[in-house]
Structure 1
Amino acid sequence: MDIEQIIMNIIIYSGDARSYMYEALSKAREGKYDEINGLIKQANDAIGKAHDIQTSMLQKEAEGEALKVSILFVHAQDQLMTTISEKNLITEMIEMTKDINALSNK
């Protein structure tokens, strides 16, 4: 697989994870909490795949293999970092939504 395809896989997995997390947030807003854990698991799996690719590239570079750093590679790294950050924020928002709904149902 060429470097561009490898980089695109990081972007694709990051985008998939972000979509799963926003879908989970939407389910929380609808009160469909039983559907959230599966979506978060899918997001974690996608992030894991992107992270595995990133780690593999870092290991190759650490072993002395010269890697082509391009704007596309920088974009992929940015997408992964942003997705992880958004996942953490959305997870907290889901918990806040649960807390608010629990308080309003008392």
Structure 2
Amino acid sequence: MDIEQIIMNIIIYSGDARSYMYEALGKAREGKYDEIDELIGKANNAIGEAHNIQTSMLQKEAEGEALKVSILFVHAQDQLMTTISEKNLITEMIEMTKSINALSNK
């Protein structure tokens, strides 16, 4: 697989994870809490795949293999980092939504 395809996989997995997290947030707003864990699990798996690719590239570079750093690679790294940050924030938002709904149902 060429480097561009490897980099695109990081972007694709990051995008999938972000989509799953926003879908989970939507389920929280709808009060469909039973569907959230599966979506977060899918997001975690996608982030894990992207992270594994990233780690593999870092290991190759550490072993002395020269990697082509391109704008596409920088974009992939940015997408992964942003997705992880958004996942953390959305997880907190879901918990806040659950708390608010629990209080309003008392």
Q: TM-score, normalised by structure 1?
A: 1.00
Q: Secondary structure of 2:93's match?
A: helix
2:36 is the alignment partner of 1:36 = yes
Alignment partners' CA distance in 2, 1:12 and 1:101: 34
Shift of 1:19: 0.1
Shift of 1:78: 0.1
Task: Deviation per CA, 1:45-99: give whole Å up to 9, x if none.
Answer: 0000000000000000000000000000000000000000000000000000000
Alignment partners' CA distance in 1, 2:98 and 2:15: 25
Q: Structure 2: which 5+ runs fail to align?
A: none
Alignment partners' CA distance in 2, 1:74 and 1:2: 16
Q: Structure 1: which 5+ runs fail to align?
A: none
Q: TM-score, normalised by structure 2?
A: 1.00
Partner of 2:70: 70
CA RMSD in angstroms comes to 0.1
Pairing of 1:83-102 with structure 2 (within 5 A): 83-102=83-102
Alignment partners' CA distance in 2, 1:43 and 1:86: 11
Alignment partners' CA distance in 1, 2:62 and 2:72: 21
Alignment partners' CA distance in 2, 1:25 and 1:62: 38
